[in-house]
């Protein structure tokens, strides 16, 4: 009996894992709606890499959705106060049953749900707003360092090795990111990553909004 229970638990775990791996990304039609519970996230995720490769900025109007394609824009309405905000999907989540979207801290503030933490909402897929910053660039984050001088020295080293552009930007928790390359597609950034990994084993691909 005990063995049977163990086998059943194992099978359930495998099934859940497979289901997670085979989650389908959806490019929804404009006008598609969903209703459910929204939550929000900020610290300690601020400055970390999102599922899209973009660095999460809790002060941007973005959101995590379980399966909407990255770059999709959604209008979110708080059904408790009728306040609305438009957000761009750039992450995956939420991972709590019954919740349909995870808003950035800024977006949660726009619809007055920071204090409550969750709210009943209705989502509607919309066209990108006029002037929306949706063009992404891809590069390789080589390091995240506490001292800016060290970050600048690493940038100069990359440029001496003809890895351009190489830039230093301020990340979260007073750290400085060193990023190499600025490609229009992820494949080019992945090729650069292959070149850099032997020297910088912790490097990884990131993306950012080109018009920031």
Q: What is the pLDDT of residue 167?
A: 85
Query: Following DSSP, what letter does each residue of the chain receive, concatenated?
Result: -HHHHHHHHHHHHHHHHHHHHTPPPB-PPTT-EEEEEEEEEBTBTTTSB-TTSBBP-TTSSEEE-SSBPTT-EEEEEETTT--EEEEEEEE----STTEEEEEEHHHHHHTT-TTTSEEEEEEEEEPPPTT----EEEEEEEEEES-HHHHHHHHHHHHHTT--SEEEEE-STT-EEEEEEEESSHHHHHHHHHHHTTT-TT-EEEEEETT-
Last residue of a domain, one of 93, 126, 159: 126
More confident residue, 53 or 188: 188
The reported pTM is 0.60
Name the residue range of residue 167's domain.
136-209
Q: What is the pLDDT of residues 117-159, one digit of tens each?
A: 999 999 999 998 887 655 667 889 999 898 999 999 999 999 9
Does residue 154 share a domain with residue 71? no
Does residue 157 share a domain with residue 81? no
Q: What is the pLDDT of residue 177?
A: 86
Does residue 121 form part of some domain?
yes
Does residue 115 share a domain with residue 38? yes
């Amino acid at each position: 009996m005990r063995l049977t229970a163990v086998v059943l638990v194992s099978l359930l775990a495998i099934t859940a894992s497979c289901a997670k791996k085979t989650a389908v990304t959806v490019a929804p039609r404009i006008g598609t709606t969903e209703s459910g519970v929204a939550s929000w996230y900020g610290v300690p995720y601020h400055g970390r890499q999102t599922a899209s490769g973009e660095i999460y900025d809790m002060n941007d109007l973005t959101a995590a959705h379980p399966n909407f394609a990255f770059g999709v824009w959604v209008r979110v309405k708080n059904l408790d106060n009728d306040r609305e905000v438009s957000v761009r999907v750039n992450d995956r989540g939420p991972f709590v049953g019954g919740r349909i979207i995870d808003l950035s801290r800024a977006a949660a503030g726009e619809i007055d749900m920071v204090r409550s933490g969750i709210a009943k909402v209705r989502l509607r897929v919309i066209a990108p707003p006029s002037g929306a910053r949706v063009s992404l660039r891809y590069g390789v984050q080589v390091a995240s360092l506490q001292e800016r001088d060290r970050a600048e020295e690493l940038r100069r080293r990359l440029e001496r090795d003809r890895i351009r552009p190489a830039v230093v930007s301020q990340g979260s928790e007073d750290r400085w990111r060193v990023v190499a390359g600025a490609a229009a597609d992820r494949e080019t950034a992945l090729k650069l990553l292959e070149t850099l990994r032997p020297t910088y084993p912790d490097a990884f691909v990131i993306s950012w909004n080109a018009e920031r």
